[in-house]
Every structure is written in C-alpha cells, then in structure tokens.
Amino acid sequence: MYIARENMREERVEIAQLGDAGLHRADDDKDACGLASVVSLQGEASHDIVRLALEALEHLEHRGAVGSDTGTGDGAGILCDIPDELLRARAEQHLVSAELPERGTYVTGIAFLPQESATRRAMRFRVDAIAAEEGLRLLAWLPVSTTPEVLGASAREAAPHIEQPIYIAAGSVATSAMLELRAFRARKRIEREAGVYLPSLSSRTIVYKGMVTTLQLPTFYPELNDERFASRFAIVHSRYSTNTFPSWHLAQPLRLVAHNGEINTVRGN
C-alpha cells in the first residue's frame, strides 16, 4: 500500500512506501499481481487522491485481459468516498426539488439497469418500493454520464443503463451504522427480488466500475475527472478472470474491498 503525502498549495504529491505501521508489516509483502490504494494522511478529501488512484490503475493495465475486439476489458473500477460536492451540483443541475441532507445522512449508489426503457421504469419502481420497505425514502434518480463510444463492441453490447438513486431515511435513524444497515438490507433484497445489480449502495462509499480496461475507466465515467470529485481514499483494481467469463457486475473492486485472486475457487480447490 502507498500513502499520498500532499502539499496542496504547491501541487506536489510525494509517494512513499509504507513501512511497519499499525497492523502492516513490511516483511509480509510478497510479489504478486497487485491492486492499488491511495489514502490522505490528513483525512482530507481532495480530487488529487482520485487522480493518483486512476494513475495507479493505468499501471495495472498488464493485469486485465482484453477481448478480441481490442476494446473490451475484463473489468476495472474505483471504490472511494461519495463525492458530496459534485453530487449536490448534479442534483441541482437536474432540478431535484428536495435538498440533499448533510453528508453521511443520505444513501446513494450506482445501479445497473436494463437498456429497454419500459423494463427500466418498472425495475426502478420495484427498487424504490423495496427501499421504502427497508426505511429508505426516494429522493431522486440521477443519470450517470457515460461515454460508451470508448468501449469495444462486446462491452457495449453487454452494457447496462447506469443511474444513481438517492435515498434518505424514513423516520429517525440514531447512528450512521443503522443507516448503513438499512442500505445493506435494501441492496440485498433489490438484487434478489428485483434482479437489479448495485455496484454500491451506501451512505459512505461509492463504486464506479464496469467491463472496461484500466485506461477506459475515467473516460467512460467522465465525472471521475471533475475537480469536485473529491475523496479521502481510493481503491482501484483490474480484474483478470482465470475461471469465469467477464461481465459488468464481476468487475473489481467490490463494495468494501478489492481482492487479489479468485475467491470462488476456494471451495472448488
């Protein structure tokens, strides 16, 4: 793991290898295909954290496979803080009537929906109904800007329609952990009962990922390049499948971690 030491006024970023600190022991490091994480030592959100993480992701290009059309990636993505400032600006741009509550008190995520509009409307209705049953009231569905032209033919053919739901708690919620529990229960039910895959649904973090190459990710999701997209940390990874076919929902990272290996082979082995 690497830590970014930032001097924001001089626009300098020094990357230093982390030695023995906390639970980490440098002697435990082993050679292997890697993932990357960037963290602010000051705990301050900035776009530089996201920019550095995307730069690190480019250097993982060797890990991800590419399809025969040369433009379809095995999968890549980024896990980071919810970009509160950018999300507020997008909500205002799309004329969301209700104002977002303060950071950490609303739930949002990314949803992979069908391309067919009538089916998509029906699924959104079902998603919102399940969320309401779990104590989350719909605030808005925001479109997520994407650039499908950068994808290969296979990735475009399999691509979902991508949107961002925003929910607030229905009734009082005593702690952020209780809000996360509501989001977790809602996401699990949405995926099982509505058949909608959610890369993330949380009051804390968000995942942008897809069947893209490491170089395509910030181009496919252009808002990752917005200076208002700020985070205190970022985890990036590229997936190389050894025993399953690539798909949009199998792209790394996952909702809490990125893993280096095929976890689903453990039982088989």
- The residues assigned a catalytic role are 33
List phi, psi (to 5°) of 259: -115, 150
DSSP annotation of 73:
B
The separation between the first and the last C-alpha atoms of the chain, rounded to the nearest angstrom, is: 29
Q: Report whether 212 contacts 65 (CB < 8 A).
A: no
Helix (H, G, I), strand (E, B) or coil at 110: strand
One DSSP character per residue, 9-52 reads GGTEEEEEE--SBTTB-GGG---S---EEEEBTT---BHHHHHH
What are the residues facing 5 on neighbouring strands?
14
